[in-house]
Amino acid sequence: MERITKTDDRVHRPAGPWTPTVHRLLAHLHEQGFVAAPAPIALGDALETVSFVPGVAGEYPWTEDVASEAALVTSARLLRQFHDAAASFPLDDSVDVWSQAARVPVETVVHGDFAPYNVVYDGIAAVGVIDFDTAHPGPRVWDVASAVYRFAPFTTGADEGRPVPAFEDRITRAAEFCRAYGLDDRSRGMLVETITAGLVALVTTLETEAAAGNPKFVSDLAHGHADLYRADVAWLEEHGDRITAALR
């Protein structure tokens, strides 16, 4: 399991082959004025050091603040600001290493796991985004779809003991996220199929990594995460037309 430690205003995290590229991305974000991401500080063979983003991450179960409409809206706006800043990152296939394969069309660098647990809050306001290990070039809708799945949330499971909102409430939250982000009509029309594609890719990664002995993914598989994602895909396929109609 990865071990993350904090010392004063610095966070020390395990580094991977992609970490030098992520550090260049983080430096670029700060150069563009997006200071809601960690700043890169140091990089060793096995450990990276970045600045600590003050606030509280939206871990499960959600607090009332994290579940609020204000948190939803400010999270969507934060994602848009990140995408806008990352869009000018100078991609270079000769040096860039990402943990995920690039997805076309490449419009920006996406976060890859923009979810409440990777967003930092000050009360009801989203003020930071963390954990860029899964960042990679791709279309904006890839991140928005993943975020809507987590923030609505469009899941068949309970939120760590708390029931998910009613179906109509989840659709309302999804539509509000898209509005706050400023997602275009074409992307809204393909949002559900993009969520489904992301979940299928997630199951594939989970099972592949578990088979290779990665302890985190072995644990996730044992806890039924793949079964939950498959159930969510089936649920989205059943309700997809209704969700898409509400998002437009």
Residue 32: burial class (beta carbons within 10 Å; 0-12, 13-18, 19+):
middle
Which of 199, 201, 193, 146 minimizes the C-alpha distance to 174? 146
Residue spans of alpha helices (H) in the chain: 19-31, 69-86, 140-151, 167-181, 185-189, 191-211, 215-222, 225-247
Nearest C-alpha neighbor of 48 from the set 10, 100, 8, 92: 10
Do both 167 and 235 map to the same domain? yes
User: Per this entry, what is the length of the chain?
Assistant: 248
Record the pTM.
0.95
Q: Residue 38: give the domain boundaries.
A: 5-51
Give the model's pLDDT for residue 3: 84
User: Is the same domain home to 97 and 30?
Assistant: no
Same domain, residue pair 60 and 34 = no
Let me know whether 19 and 112 are in one domain. no
Q: Using CA atoms, how far apart are residues 159 and 155, in angstroms rounded to an integer?
A: 9
Per-residue pLDDT of the chain (248 residues; tens, 9 = 90+): 458 999 999 999 999 999 999 999 999 999 999 999 999 999 998 999 999 999 999 998 899 999 999 999 999 999 999 999 999 999 999 999 999 999 999 999 999 999 999 999 999 999 999 999 999 999 999 999 999 999 999 988 765 556 678 999 999 999 999 999 999 999 999 999 999 999 999 999 999 999 999 998 999 999 999 999 999 999 999 999 999 999 98
Same-domain check for residues 34 and 148: no
40 shares its domain with 61: no
Domain match, 69 and 189 both: yes
Residues 79 and 190 in one domain: yes
Asked whether residue 239 falls in the same domain as residue 181, the answer is yes
Per-residue pLDDT reduced to its tens digit, 129-151: 999 999 999 999 999 999 999 99
Same-domain check for residues 75 and 103: yes
Report residue 169 as tokens.
């409430």
Q: What are phi and psi of 198, to 5 degrees?
A: -65, -40
Q: How many domains does the chain have?
A: 2
pLDDT computed for residue 212 by the predictor: 95
